[in-house]
Structure 1
């Protein structure tokens, strides 16, 4: 039986909510391990080499490719048959996501201009973490209309697309033409097999692994392989199919992405020192301070301001039953920049600077979560009372 858009959304929300809780636990474990007597063992495991990558790199380059593949599937589905397929419904989250990237980047650049590493670190505050954001929303906003969740999900999908573009453009340090050509051939083969309605995983799994390896060797960040394949997967089912390939793959892979791939990445990426000395060094680092302000101030102003402008100039309308105070609370939740922010910090900075900036991402995300939670609880009570 075909799932309705509502049941599809509910399934997605449940998976991401549970994933957000697991992600929070993995983050807490990483911080505890990195600041405990087990720190040496934790670092030894993270830095242990398997083939020519460390365990931490495998989590960053390998497991996150699964996360980005699922993001690609979700983006393709939203663009073709979901909320973003209808112009009027798509305008507001797209404009909000754009504001939620441009303004934080502007704030980060304004504060950190000229600081070492800022030439690439400006992108750290552009991302919103969907798992954490939906987790906080589900725990604190049960009284809000479902349109708040749909708006946040649509915004996060567009935000993911922006992060994908940033990673592809900024973090291609070298370029191997032969490997890139191999990746293009494999991606084209994947698209051809999708077009011909081939369903065999015996073909797709080797193609996916080969594409990941070729993209990695080309110099483009390996997670882009996941996005490319996700965007090329069919999202409309044929009459003889129970469900489209993209929906089937989402069902299979999303629990692994939200419940395993992203938490394991967080376990090795979020292990930063949080001693008074480390926190003092973080606050003395202009890049770290710029990232904090970008996430906490830039996201709120960017998402809320872009939304207000779009409605004010009649480009869009507010989601059903949502008021401006509700939108302010959801906009504050956009400041939870975790998974992709940590990834960009790792990619853009040397080890010591990355540690300080990742601590800044954790701090900003925690503060944004708490502020948004307080606002959402208050708005939920107001909706129940009305």
Structure 2
């Protein structure tokens, strides 16, 4: 599910959006990928706020509150024109600023004929949306860099999921790659015991967490074998960087004895994963992902196979996480958790989110 359709309001009335302040604000969140904005408006809900995304005829990306100020039809039910988005009910045309600039059959445009506009920026083929603590406040920082989408050494593909689970359950999953040996046996898995016993280092700096896992002497998993001429063994690494709005995961492998596994300039097979996790409501979220990979010089282009298998692994993850959340709801207060050694990264990320929410509440108070 990539967008909200124009559906009867009765079908939506049961699910009221939460207050955006229940999520960290003054952050750039992922709204989508550049390739998703074509000639039609795109409806999505971010942090409980209904938004319509569109690209003008001049190529400008814009995001507005998904509601016409006249009779509240979602603007996503309308059409994109050269200068903005036109409501599909009475034809009012809105500029990227949110101001109505045309009312068919009426020359005078009331000053109050406008809707809320969001700051958006397009960078490295990712569309970012600024979610401020104070409405109308300018972004206090630039959107994050992700150069691998534009790096000629890599080719990438992307996709997105709609999850029926809270966003932090996905953080937990991505910060703990020990599950690969159990959940992803057909693609990027490998020896489960080796995954669970991998050398692991977890560090935190500011609002970021980094998890590094090294697995020398691994059996190459199927995805790696399909992309690189590994023998029976390879030296694997996993480097995960958590930020509040997204995670960057650098994984790959070397042929044993060719490079140091912790050398920043090491060769071998590289996969750079981008994971934009944007809350929708308390119980649902968007998951925007891309995978960029290198190519072995004497092998055919492998990006299609890598993307196919990456999507398959994310299908597996979604099944696990949504089943996990359903069980949490059914067990209620009895669904207490017992932490084990692989939970360090996820727990630190949760503490960062809790700290940001506490600071936010103090500023609001």
TM-score in same-fold range (> 0.5): no
Bigger Rg, which one: 2
Normalising by structure 2, we get a TM-score of 0.24
The structure with the greater share of residues assigned to strand is 2
The structure with the greater share of residues assigned to helix is 1
Normalising by structure 1, we get a TM-score of 0.23
Higher RCO structure (Cα 8 Å, ≥6 apart) = 1
